[in-house]
Amino acid sequence: MTKDDVLNALKRVKGPDLDGNIVELGLVSEVVIANRKVYFSITVPPERAEQLEPLRKAAEQVVSDLDGVDHVGVVLTADAPTGQAAKPAAPAATPKPKAPAGGPGGGGQSAGVPGVKHIIAVASGKGGVGKSTTSVNLALALQANGLKVGVLDADIYGPSMPRLLGISGRPQQAHGNVLSPMEGYGLKCMSMGFLVDEGTPVVWRGPMVISALTQMLREVAWGELDVLVVDMPPGTGDAQLTMAQQVPLAGAIIVSTPQDLALIDARKGLNMFRQVDVPVLGIIENMSYFLCPSCGERSNIFGHGGAKNEADKLGIPFLGEIPLHMDIRETSDAGQPVVASAPNSEHTSIYRAIAEKAWSSIGSSGAKAAPSINIQ
């Protein structure tokens, strides 16, 4: 499958007003093909982005139907006036990450955040695997292990950190455009949930999402942090790829459940980070086995161990397994994550052991030592 095959398929998709086709109208960005995955963007007038979702879907469909395509990432982009926001999300899949505008040229890494020593992303191939629950408990566990920790909730559409950490209210202005982070259980935290009222649907174009994320990263007075944990949006699409590129990540952690399907998705997550040269620090298997809340008996109802096998196969560290347990869910729902509310529990020691492993692999990964993988 070649770029021409993709463009030929896309010629079947009509333009916004049903005249011509999106290729001949010059609306399709460069097409990036990586490992049976295809990424591109379609330029549309910003005010019509929502209305033109069917066009995006149609483009996604015709390319998905091609032989040799496993995944298609299509975003609608608008020609934003200036700065990074103008960068369409899709070309994020190009092999060499670019430094942000104004940043140090040629380094291939985006500029760091002053005061923040390491930034790690927690990602998953799909939603509902417990990524946010794991992020918050991992952050608390890193803190319990003696580190200064912050959490950036990068899920613009479905922020969960305010709820998980039981924080409400609005961030104060620190100085100029810079906001003070909120704080819960000693963790510094920033989330779109603090800035947008709950229940307000956020329908944003790709570039706006990216600029919101960079602002939450760079226009927040994080102070001195050993580690900032970024709870990534679920999935492995363009927003995630761009995010992974915009943030100077020391490494990424993939959360997966034991089911095969989820593992396939986890693999997508791995590839995503490898494409942008971010070392994968390891896989955590969440909801790994069922711990009966009344008798404490352990049952491997989900074919436990899949993530470990997969990690071994891929040569990636396996960071540990977290049981499926009512206490983990109930404490999260109540805004009292288990590591904070039950510091001496078995769950907490599991999270702390995982945090220790993850932290030691940040040191040993050498941050930028990941091999460069040519995806073409």
Give min distance, CB of 138 to ligand ADP, in A.
11
Given a contact cutoff of 8 angstroms between Cβ atoms, the answer to whether 272 and 121 are in contact is no
Q: Is 324 in the site for ligand ADP (CB under 6 A)?
A: yes
Q: How far is the CB of 166 from ligand ADP (least distance, A)?
A: 14
- Looking at the Cβ atoms of 90 and 270, the one nearer to ligand ADP is 270
Number of residues that bind ligand ADP (CB under 6 A): 19
Question: Residue 325, interface with ligand ADP (CB under 6 A)?
Answer: yes
- For the chain, give the longest Cα–Cα distance: 66
Residue choice 117, 329, 342, 370 for contact with ligand ADP (CB under 6 A): 329
Which residues from 66-95 bind ligand ADP, rule CB under 6 A? none
Closer Cβ to ligand ADP, 102 or 199, answer by number: 199
Q: Measured from the CB of residue 13, what is the shortest distance to ligand ADP in angstroms?
A: 31
Cα 275 to Cα 135, 254, 270, 280: the distances in Å are 23, 15, 9, 11
- What are the tokens at 349? 């020691």
In 17-78, alpha helices (H): 53-64
Interface characters, 118-137, with ligand ADP (x: CB under 6 A): ------x--xxxxxxx----
Query: Helix (H, G, I), strand (E, B), or coil: what is residue 100?
Result: coil
* Two structure tokens written together for 303: 């074919």
Residue 124 vs 361, nearer CB to ligand ADP: 124
Residue 335 CB, shortest distance to ligand ADP, in Å, is 11
Range 284-313, binding ligand ADP (CB under 6 A): 286-287
240 belongs to the binding site for ligand ADP (CB under 6 A): no
* 365 binds ligand ADP, rule: CB under 6 A: no
As measured in angstroms, the least distance from the Cβ of 344 to ligand ADP is 18
Residues 159-178 that bind ligand ADP (CB under 6 A): 160
Distance, CA of 294 to CA of 296 (rounded, Å): 6
DSSP state of 119: E
Task: Report if residue 320 touches ligand ADP, rule: CB under 6 A.
Answer: no
Q: Which region among 108-116, 189-197, 261-269, 328-336 touches ligand ADP (by CB under 6 A)?
A: 328-336
The sign of the CA dihedral 347, 190, 184, 146 is: positive
Q: Which of 139, 231, 132 is nearest to 188 (CA)?
A: 139
Give the whole-angstrom CA distance, residue 331 versus residue 99: 40
Piece in contact with ligand ADP (CB under 6 A), picked from 16-24, 82-90, 146-154, 317-325: 317-325
CB of 333 to ligand ADP, least distance (A): 6
How deeply is 300 buried, as exposed, middle or buried, from its count of CB atoms within 10 A (0-12, 13-18, 19+)? exposed
Tell me the pairing of strands 71-77 and 37-43. parallel
The 3-class secondary structure across 139-173, one letter per residue, is HHHHHHCCCCEEEEECCCCCCCHHHHCCCCCCCCE
Tell which one of 332, 348, 361, 365 touches ligand ADP (CB under 6 A). Answer: 332
Shortest distance (Å) from residue 332 CB to ligand ADP = 4
Q: How far apart, in whole angstroms, are the C-alpha atoms of residue 215 and residue 178?
A: 9
Cβ atoms within 10 Å, residue 309:
12
Does 322 help bind ligand ADP (rule: CB under 6 A)? yes
What residues line the site for ligand ADP (CB under 6 A)? 124, 127-133, 160, 234, 286-287, 322, 324-325, 328-329, 332-333
